[in-house]
């Protein structure tokens, strides 16, 4: 999963998708999800995305916000 590889791996781990079935194109995802059996147990995934705190936003805005002059 090229866009967010760590999150994609965690989701596939939680779904119990074996490594040999993890090479698929984005357009194949609906078929993959539809192939999961009803009532299948899903393992609780690790945290997918870290919470961004207000203090981090302020720090990043100062560091990377640029100037108001164009």
Distances (CA, A) of 54 to 51, 58, 65: 10, 6, 15
pTM for this predicted structure: 0.53
State the pLDDT at residue 1: 44
In a domain, 69, yes or no: no
Chain-centre distance for alpha carbon 31: 19
Asked whether the beta carbons of 15 and 41 are under 8 A apart, the reply is no
With tokens 């999961």, the residue in question is 36
With tokens 């108001």, the residue in question is 68
In a domain, 55, yes or no: yes
In a domain, 70, yes or no: no
In a domain, 21, yes or no: yes
The rounded mean pLDDT for the chain is: 82
* Percent residues over pLDDT 70 in the chain: 89
Split into its structural domains, the chain has a count of: 1
pLDDT digits (tens, 9 = 90+) for 29-53: 788 778 888 888 888 888 888 899 9
pLDDT digits (tens, 9 = 90+) for 1-26: 456 778 888 888 888 888 887 777 77
In a domain, 15, yes or no: yes
The single-letter DSSP state of residue 44 is: P
| Residue 31: domain span | 5-64
Report whether pLDDT(55) > 50.
yes
């Amino acid at each position: 999963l090229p866009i967010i590889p760590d999150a994609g791996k965690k989701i596939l781990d939680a779904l119990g998708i074996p490594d040999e079935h993890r090479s698929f194109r984005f357009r194949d995802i609906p078929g993959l999800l539809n192939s999961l059996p009803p009532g299948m147990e899903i393992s609780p995934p690790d945290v997918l995305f870290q919470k961004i705190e207000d203090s981090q936003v302020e720090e990043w805005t100062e560091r990377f916000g640029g100037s108001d002059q164009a």
